[in-house]
Structure 1
Amino acid sequence: MADQTMLAVRYHQFGGSDVLTLEEVPRPTPQAGELLIKVVSAGVLPADWKIRMGLFPLPVSFPSIPGTSFAGMIEAIGEGTTGYQVGQEVFGRSARGTYAEYAVAPVEAVAMKPVSMSFDEAATLSGGATTAWRAITSAGVKSGDRVLIHGAAGGVGLFAVQFAKALGAYVFGTAGRENLDFIRSLGVDEAIDYKATPFEQVAQDVDFVLDTIGGDTLNRSWSVIKRGGSLVSITGQPPVAHGQSLGIRVLPSSLATSQDLNDIVKLIDEGIVKTVVQHVYGMNEVRQAHERSENGHGRGRIVLRIADSQDRSI
């Protein structure tokens, strides 16, 4: 299998979307504890273009294949790896790039695709549902808690709203005016147009804040969290010492376990949680997909359709 090739998106240096190219590259081989996935769809996360631009303090080896989120089918199984079979439909996370026809993932970062979801929808889960689930559960959100979700219509926020509601929380959510009805449909109790109304005027004595925006939004959020409350920001690590001075727990963003993945699948297949695909692009439209993600303010997740890609040029 090592001498076989595949089509992949790669970039050879940091830069704008124009550094993304489609190339024929060697197909990876799964090692012990790994699965080779035939990728059908890949999630386009904001982290993908931030890494491409060199904005994240992460080591990047060039040439690099972007993407961490995938949904697809098991093509091959590494030696001694158990629990899965070739042909099963799965989703999960890979640190070795998912904007490619094949990707290798550790078995603990893979779960069976929800039967109620398409591949495009399942590709929104890793980095979206998983990030939200880890934030909500690490904070210990429970029935009666007051929760503020910034960017409630986004790829992480829309899941966080639903998870918090499933646990019985009272949820405040911020979004643009065009998305207020949408976040209410997800379960938001008080929808806040962030451009028209300072959220501090609406949300007070909050037990937990999930910040997906950063900057001024994060700085203003401290004042609405009560002592003993919690904060998670997925835009970077907030100052822990400042949180301690206010009696607020600053929790790190963390990766989902296989149990987390299975818990999320159960909620989806029971109809308690749904996802939203904002737009689907072909592999040859990867530059447009990144540009759309960079513009922000969308509803749901952007997806890159890998399967059936025939156009070899961008």
Structure 2
Amino acid sequence: MSSETMKAIRIHAFGRPEVLRYEDAPKPVPQSGEVLVRVHAIGINPPDWYLRDGYKALPPEWRPQVSFPIILGTDISGTVEAVADDVENFSVGDDVYSMVRFFSVGESKAYAEYVSVPAADLALKPAGIDHIHAAAAPMSLLTAWQFMIELGHDQPNPLQAHKHQPVPLLGRTVLVNGAAGGVGHLAVQLAKRNGAHVIAVASGRHEALLRGLGADDFIDYGKTPPEDVAHDIDLVVDALGGPTSGRFLQTLKRGGALFPVYPLGFAHAAEAEQRGITVSATQVRSSGAQLAKLARMLDDGTIRTAIDSTYPLADARKAHERAGQGHIQGKIVLTVAA
């Protein structure tokens, strides 16, 4: 670290949004293989508040050990400020976006004016969208892509013994639960783009958005439980996941698949096996190569990110409070003044 400082959001203890502090922090210096990015926008994601809260949802033996203070966050869009001598693919002045160092708890450090990024995690920002929409994409879009289209890495899967495998989408029926959220609204678009018939499940106020993104059918879960009306589904992408994912087993045809994005708490393995259904999940990993591929789709509008709300970096606490209210439409983004 240099003696220069920057503004960042740091936590000095786990807790509620009130622990987020806007304060001076050391400005990073790019190390070998890294790029220093001046941040313009930051996408916030569930792992941000899981870490802020101390990963209370995990069993104690699974909770990562971290050293305070911590700068939260992974997703950034910004401009290259400096590059290490051994980095060849990026230059000062390039507009870039990234999911930084995930999965490395406490090492991403994105809620800041500057962040050092491994060049392998970085891609040129889609030219056709602004920094806010670019920052909204990385984790959510990589999650949907790695679950549904291309895993793209050989990292051990901490969530299950077998390697996650996407399934064919062309001509299949795909149901996306939590379809209006960060991962969900992008999963809808990827499924549709790859030739699936898409059923979106969300609250009624999101119907117009989701039909505009390509959903063929819509289920308002506030009026009708989706498991009561959806049948013969080939793939369910449950962007909410957790203990309630098991209810979707009855919607799937034999040979179908259930992909819970948050698989912890799923307790229906025996039922899934009896029904002939594959249940599989993966842990999203940083990939500049995949972001470069996805940038072309974001650039031409094939895939687009929806923005729920934006907040200045200094108001990260308010952004986390908004996240805690739920019913998010797309993504929440922090902005960084020039």
Q: Same fold (TM over 0.5)?
A: yes
Residue 284 (structure 1) shift: 1.8
2:71 aligned counterpart, secondary structure:
coil
Residue 174 (structure 1) shift: 0.7
In 2, Cα distance between equivalents of 1:111 and 1:264:
10
Unpaired runs of at least 5, structure 2: 102-107, 150-164
Give the equivalent residue in structure 1 for 2:156: none
Q: Are positions 1:79 and 2:106 aligned together?
A: no
TM-score of the pair, normalised by structure 1: 0.93
Query: Which residue identity lines up with residue 261 of structure 2 in the other structure?
Result: I
Give the equivalent residue in structure 2 for 1:281: 311
In 2, Cα distance between equivalents of 1:98 and 1:254:
17
Q: Are positions 1:305 and 2:305 aligned together?
A: no
Give the equivalent residue in structure 2 for 1:121: 133
Give the equivalent residue in structure 1 for 2:326: 296
Give the equivalent residue in structure 2 for 1:162: 189
In 2, Cα distance between equivalents of 1:225 and 1:252:
20
Unpaired runs of at least 5, structure 1: 309-314
Residue 253 (structure 1) shift: 3.4
Query: Which residue identity lines up with residue 42 of structure 2 in the other structure?
Result: A
Worse-superposed segment, 49-58 or 250-259: 250-259
Asked if the contact 1:276–1:299 (Cα under 8 Å) also holds between the matched residues in 2, the reply is yes
Report runs of 4+ in structure 1 exceeding 6 Å deviation: none
Q: Are positions 1:60 and 2:66 aligned together?
A: yes
Residues 260 and 227 (structure 1), Cα distance of their counterparts in 2 relative to 1, 3 Å cut: farther
Give the equivalent residue in structure 1 for 2:32: 32
Asked if the contact 1:232–1:253 (Cα under 8 Å) also holds between the matched residues in 2, the reply is no
Residue 88 (structure 1) shift: 0.2
Give the equivalent residue in structure 1 for 2:297: 267
In 1, Cα distance between equivalents of 2:246 and 2:267:
10
Give the equivalent residue in structure 2 for 1:198: 225
In 1, Cα distance between equivalents of 2:260 and 2:286:
16
Residues 76 and 214 (structure 1), Cα distance of their counterparts in 2 relative to 1, 3 Å cut: same
In 2, Cα distance between equivalents of 1:244 and 1:179:
34
Query: Which residue identity lines up with residue 184 of structure 1 in the other structure?
Result: R
TM-score of the pair, normalised by structure 2: 0.86
Give the equivalent residue in structure 2 for 1:248: 277
Residues 257 and 247 (structure 1), Cα distance of their counterparts in 2 relative to 1, 3 Å cut: farther
CA RMSD of aligned residues (A): 1.8
1:161 aligned counterpart, secondary structure:
helix
Residues 65 and 245 (structure 1), Cα distance of their counterparts in 2 relative to 1, 3 Å cut: farther
Asked if the contact 2:232–2:253 (Cα under 8 Å) also holds between the matched residues in 1, the reply is yes
In 2, Cα distance between equivalents of 1:143 and 1:162:
13
Residue 241 (structure 1) shift: 4.4
CA-to-aligned-CA distance 1:166-208 (integer Å, 9 cap, x gap): 0010111111111112111111111010111010123212221
Residues 306 and 236 (structure 1), Cα distance of their counterparts in 2 relative to 1, 3 Å cut: farther
Query: Which residue identity lines up with residue 126 of structure 1 in the other structure?
Result: P
Asked if the contact 2:36–2:80 (Cα under 8 Å) also holds between the matched residues in 1, the reply is yes
* Identity of matched residues, %: 37
1:251 aligned counterpart, secondary structure:
coil
Give the one of 224, 228, 236 matched to 2:263: 236
Give the equivalent residue in structure 1 for 2:43: 43
Residue 271 (structure 1) shift: 2.2
Q: Are positions 1:222 and 2:228 aligned together?
A: no
